[in-house]
Chains A and B, each alone.
Chain A
Amino acid sequence: MRIKKLGAAAAALVLAGSLAACGGGDDEVEVASETDFEAGTTMAEIADRGTVTVGTKFDQPGFGLLGLEDVPEGFDVEVAKIIAGAMGIAEEDIEWVQATSDIREQVIEDGDVDFVVATYTINDERKQRITFAGPYYEAGQQLMVASDNDSIEGPEDIADNPDMKVCSVTGSTPSEQIREYLADDDQLVLFDIYDKCADALSNGQVDIVTTDNVILLGFVSKSEGEFKLVGEQFTEEPYGIGITKGDVEFCEFINETLAENEDAYLAAWDRTAGEVEGTEKPELPEADACA
């Protein structure tokens, strides 16, 4: 019994130590102490309420990943903190809600969240139901293969190797965009999460995994040399912040906030997705007009 207790205490110590090592001291996001918003706007409502609900991914390394600490971490999460901070909301007062790809529009429409930052590619079909602020990041689709695979150098090579299987996630933008490069639809293997694609690539069931470069880089860095990226980015995936359709004032506020906080934005990149080897430091893209 005694030994067991000792072991548990030791484990707790180690855990505490590693947690402390993770939580760096300088990753505080600035929180506005005084805010003054026109009455009736979304910002005023949120500032009055004192809390904000944000939808993000819980399973996307580097962007939004829920770890052991019960709070998601990543670039999307940091961007959300910058926006919340500008409304005077500290990060303890942010409620995080998981917004998987298939429910992002729904949670915005239903009012379950105030905004969504979740590797959310801006496209016209989605704009039918919600409004996008930003973009705040330009991702691009790329290919990941096993390190010993030399026959694929870009998306054009996929059709020349009809035996090879390409893996992506059901219903994702990349899974739709890769179709034009395939010899036939049987080449495409779809799972519900990217982890399964990485497993399938590792055990040889598929030959290529495709999605946005930043997501792939997370897998490459974890794979210890087993995977590599090939070819150039062949699409442009501007990530936007999803808000209620037609809320132009909130959209403009978010765009202004990001433009004013470019330093915080870059610092946020460095301590999240930027830590992965091979990522390029982004520039804050010019925001689209709010509509």
Chain B
Amino acid sequence: MSPVIDNLDLYWSGFLTSLEFIVYSLIGSMILGTVIAAFRVSPIAALRGFGSAYVTVVRNCPLTIVLFFMAFGLPELGINRSYFFFGIAGLVIYTSAFVCEALRSGINSVSAGQAEAARAIGLTFTQTMREVVLPQAFRSAIPPLGSVQIAMFKNSAVAGAFGIGGDLYSVGKTLTSARGFEYIPVLTGVAIGYLIITLSAGLALGLLERKVAIAR
């Protein structure tokens, strides 16, 4: 394990870069995923159509392709941003399709009577979603949402191959290629970095689930 211990500073900075990347992607994908889920259950046919099309296209594309389009397609169209931005954008677009579907399963678990009652007292669609349906939907969707987001944390390693630099993936590459260290200890160190993030996310999810649980 000496390659890991000798390069703890490198691992630490890689860990922080990955964590920053993950936090932005988490926030972005939750917001975009919720919006798309709302589209998919909205009364407006055009929005429903857009939501379904979005999920169908994005969920069935490999993440690498989505990231390729971001990092090499957008600049061709004259959009030049940092690769960090492109990586987050790609991961947000990809993950939000899964967030949308997890959330939709939550929305479907809210009994129709809830929405009907909300309509009966005169709430608009947006109000119904925001005040009545989504709060309940999020609660029952926490386990699948957690799985989707933990998968996203690990997917962030793929974005490391698209110019981000300095994340845990790049640290592993630098140590094995330029410095010629052995693969197993170096990648074990990288795995520990990701485990710290994913395991603590799992713990946080458990806490959250208990906190917002409702007796039915």
- Interface range on chain B (Cβ under 8 Å from partner): 20 to 34
Does A271 sit within 8 A of B, measured CB to CB?
no
Does B154 sit within 8 A of A, measured CB to CB?
no
A171 adjacent to B183 (CB under 8 Å): no
B21-56 contacts to A, CB under 8 A, are none
A188 adjacent to B165 (CB under 8 Å): yes
Cβ 8 A contact of A192, one of B75, B83, B173, B175: B173
Nearest chain B CB to A94 CB, angstrom units: 25
Cβ 8 A contact of B176, one of A130, A171, A203: A171
Closest 9 CB pairs of A and B: A171-B177, A171-B173, A203-B75, A126-B180, A170-B173, A190-B165, A101-B177, A102-B176, A102-B177
B75-125 contacts to A, CB under 8 A, are 75-76, 80, 83
Encode contact with A along B123-140: 1 for CB under 8 Å, 0 otherwise.
Answer: 000000000000000000
B126-182 contacts to A, CB under 8 A, are 160-166, 169-170, 173-180, 182
Contact status of A205 and B178, CB under 8 A, knowing A188-B165, A190-B163, A191-B163: no
Contacts of B176 in A (CB 8 A): 102-103, 171
Nearest chain A CB to B200 CB, angstrom units: 27
Contact status of A200 and B161, CB under 8 A, knowing A102-B173, A125-B179, A190-B170: no
Nearest chain B CB to A92 CB, angstrom units: 31
Contacts of B169 in A (CB 8 A): 170
Contacts of B178 in A (CB 8 A): 101, 125, 171-173, 175-176
Contact status of A170 and B170, CB under 8 A, knowing A190-B165, A203-B72: yes
Contact status of A129 and B75, CB under 8 A, knowing A170-B165, A170-B174, A188-B165: no
Cβ 8 A contact of B165, one of A125, A173, A189, A205: A189
Cβ 8 A contact of A125, one of B83, B164, B180: B180
Nearest chain B CB to A275 CB, angstrom units: 28
- How far is A93 from B176 in the complex, measured between Cα atoms in Å? 30
- How far is A190 from B182 in the complex, measured between Cα atoms in Å? 21
Contacts of B175 in A (CB 8 A): 171
- How far is A112 from B31 in the complex, measured between Cα atoms in Å? 49
A171-188 contacts to B, CB under 8 A, are 171-173, 175-176, 185, 188
Binding site for B on A (CB under 8 A): 101-106, 109, 123, 125-126, 128-130, 167, 170-173, 175-176, 185, 188-192, 196, 199-200, 203-205
A128 adjacent to B165 (CB under 8 Å): no
Nearest chain A CB to B176 CB, angstrom units: 4
Contacts of A171 in B (CB 8 A): 170, 173-178
B180 adjacent to A129 (CB under 8 Å): yes
Contact status of A196 and B75, CB under 8 A, knowing A102-B177, A173-B178, A190-B170: no
Contacts of A128 in B (CB 8 A): 180
Nearest chain A CB to B177 CB, angstrom units: 3
- How far is A172 from B83 in the complex, measured between Cα atoms in Å? 19
Best-surrounded residue of A170, A176, A192 (most CB of chain B within 10 A): A170
A103 adjacent to B170 (CB under 8 Å): no
Contacts of B72 in A (CB 8 A): 196, 199-200, 203
Cβ 8 A contact of A191, one of B75, B161, B179, B182: B161
Best-surrounded residue of A106, A172, A190, A199 (most CB of chain B within 10 A): A190
A-B contact pairs, 5 of them (CB 8 A): A102-B176, A171-B174, A191-B162, A199-B72, A200-B163
A106 adjacent to B183 (CB under 8 Å): yes
Contacts of B170 in A (CB 8 A): 170-171, 190
- How far is A196 from B183 in the complex, measured between Cα atoms in Å? 24
B173 adjacent to A205 (CB under 8 Å): no
Cβ 8 A contact of A204, one of B75, B160, B162: B75
B75 adjacent to A200 (CB under 8 Å): yes
